[in-house]
């Protein structure tokens, strides 16, 4: 069962059931709180009409998450019953219908959030976008994955993956929306190929909207096992906020004196010395040198990949079945 609706009110019924139908979720409507106890714990979402909330409190069903009180112009007294019931919110219909529709769209989604991995170049041209694409491609064969392009001045992750002509919503479209963003709506709305979705840019003039990014990431981790963010190294305050939302941060750098010097400055600005890992690209210095200069542990060393440019130009993306990027993606994602 997806949604349990407790009400005797035809007005509440007529306001809620069409929203359930539009979201593609089943609704079990029950007019008796006592009879509803059998379904109480098994429902993904419980909606209690304001007309029955006092009776439901008297029945004293077990505490559980995902309870909302719904009704038309609920009075102040309803909130006391909502607190006693452990409800997460009181939804005033029809004004609250958009919020409820988004909540219904998430019914059946994962109960725990997915993992967010941020990838940033410690120096320009380090290959951070290439690694981000490889991580997303590798994991997409194993579970729902979203690759977020958070670099307004980058090449566009859709171009590296050959997905620039795929239909779907881009950053610009999501910035224009407001309110809660549904996980399913985001997953199904972005350009996709199999298990991989990409959120990128549709216009030449680009600007990362931080409030929109917050809403998008909250929805992304509800609808995907893995979210990979291609971060802009010159992102300023926006970069710092996105980094704070990452479970893991990978800093990509060439093992050269200029590259490591630039990376050390970036790491110091971000303040993630103890919570980030260094991915080293070929250069004249050793892994030990890279760790000593940047203060980060080396979590992977990625060599040059033959045929990389040709693979990207053919629209296949950077990941091949065998090669340094595939091995790095596997090791980095399996390690945590």
Residue 277's CATH number: 3.40.50.300
pLDDT score of 1: 60
254 burial via Cβ count (<10 Å: 0-12, 13-18, 19+):
buried
**In the predicted model, is pLDDT for residue 157 greater than 90?**
yes
Task: Encode pLDDT of 17-36 as tens digits.
Answer: 999 998 888 999 999 999 99
Task: Encode pLDDT of 266-312 as tens digits.
Answer: 999 887 655 799 999 999 999 999 999 999 999 999 999 989 989 98
Q: Does 110 fall in a domain?
A: no
Please check whether residues 51 and 158 belong to one and the same domain. Answer: no
Mean pLDDT of 204-211: 82
pLDDT score of 179: 65
Mean pLDDT of 156-179: 89
Instruction: Calculate the average pLDDT of the chain.
Output: 91
Domain termination residue (choose one: 78, 105, 132):
105
Measured in degrees and rounded to the nearest 5, phi and psi for residue 73 equal: 50, 60
Please check whether residues 130 and 71 belong to one and the same domain. Answer: no
Please name every residue paired with 278 in a beta bridge, in sequence order, or none if there are none.
251, 298
pLDDT score of 232: 94
Please check whether residues 77 and 225 belong to one and the same domain. Answer: no
Which range of residues forms the domain containing residue 308?
115-335
Mean pLDDT of 1-9: 91
**In the predicted model, is pLDDT for residue 180 greater than 80?**
no
Domain termination residue (choose one: 71, 105, 139):
105
Token output for 175 = 């910035």
Please check whether residues 178 and 286 belong to one and the same domain. Answer: yes
pLDDT score of 168: 95
- pLDDT-based confidence at 2, cuts 50/70/90? confident
Q: How many domains does the chain have?
A: 2
Domain termination residue (choose one: 46, 76, 105):
105
Q: Does 53 fall in a domain?
A: yes
Please check whether residues 92 and 129 belong to one and the same domain. Answer: no
The proportion of the chain whose per-residue pLDDT surpasses 70, expressed as a percent, equals: 96
How does strand 192-193 pair with strand 196-199?
antiparallel
Please check whether residues 44 and 178 belong to one and the same domain. Answer: no
Query: Which residue has better confidence, 204 or 221?
Result: 221
**Distance between CA atoms of residues 115 and 74, nearest Å:** 38
pLDDT score of 111: 60
**Confidence (pTM):** 0.77
pLDDT score of 283: 93
**Distance between CA atoms of residues 68 and 84, nearest Å:** 12
Please check whether residues 310 and 290 belong to one and the same domain. Answer: yes
Please check whether residues 277 and 213 belong to one and the same domain. Answer: yes
b/e burial code for range 122-160 (CB count within 10 A of at least 16 → b): bbeebbbbbbbbbbbbbbbeeebbbbbbbbbebebbbbb
User: Looking at residue 67, which CATH number applies to its domain?
Assistant: 3.40.50.2300
pLDDT score of 112: 66
Please check whether residues 242 and 306 belong to one and the same domain. Answer: yes
pLDDT score of 229: 98
Q: Does 18 fall in a domain?
A: yes
Mean pLDDT of 38-46: 93
Please check whether residues 122 and 266 belong to one and the same domain. Answer: yes
Task: Encode pLDDT of 89-99 as tens digits.
Answer: 999 999 999 88
The proportion of the chain whose per-residue pLDDT surpasses 90, expressed as a percent, equals: 71
Please check whether residues 77 and 136 belong to one and the same domain. Answer: no
């Amino acid at each position: 069962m997806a949604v349990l609706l407790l009400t005797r009110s035809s007005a509440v019924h007529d306001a809620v059931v069409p929203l359930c139908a539009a979201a593609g979720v089943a609704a079990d409507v029950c007019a008796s709180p006592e009879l509803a106890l059998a379904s109480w714990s098994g429902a993904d979402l419980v909606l209690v009409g304001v007309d029955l909330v006092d009776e439901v409190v008297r029945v004293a069903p077990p505490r559980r998450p995902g309870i909302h009180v719904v009704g038309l112009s609920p009075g102040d007294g309803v909130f006391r019953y909502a607190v006693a019931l452990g409800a997460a919110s009181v939804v005033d219909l029809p004004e609250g219908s958009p919020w409820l529709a988004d909540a219904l769209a998430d019914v059946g989604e994962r109960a725990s959030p997915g993992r967010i991995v941020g990838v940033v170049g410690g120096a320009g041209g380090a290959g951070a976008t290439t690694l981000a694409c490889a991580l997303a491609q590798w994991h997409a064969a194993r579970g729902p994955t979203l690759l977020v392009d958070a670099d307004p001045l980058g090449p566009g992750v859709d171009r590296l993956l050959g997905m620039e002509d795929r239909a779907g919503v881009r950053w610009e479209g999501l910035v224009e929306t407001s309110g809660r963003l549904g996980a399913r709506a985001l997953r199904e709305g972005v350009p996709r190929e199999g298990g991989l979705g990409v959120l990128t840019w549709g216009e030449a003039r680009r600007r990362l909207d931080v409030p929109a990014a917050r809403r998008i990431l909250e929805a992304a981790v509800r609808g995907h096992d893995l979210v990979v963010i291609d971060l802009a190294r010159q992102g300023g305050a926006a970069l710092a906020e996105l980094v704070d939302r990452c479970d893991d941060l990978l800093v990509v750098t060439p093992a050269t004196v200029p590259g490591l010097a630039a990376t050390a400055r970036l790491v110091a600005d971000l303040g993630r010395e103890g919570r980030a890992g260094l991915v080293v690209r070929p250069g004249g210095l050793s892994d030990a040198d890279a760790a000593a200069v940047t203060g980060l542990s080396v979590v992977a060393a990625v060599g040059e990949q033959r045929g990389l440019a040709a693979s990207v130009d053919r629209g296949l993306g950077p990941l091949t079945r065998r090669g340094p990027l595939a091995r790095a993606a596997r090791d980095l994602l399996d390690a945590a």
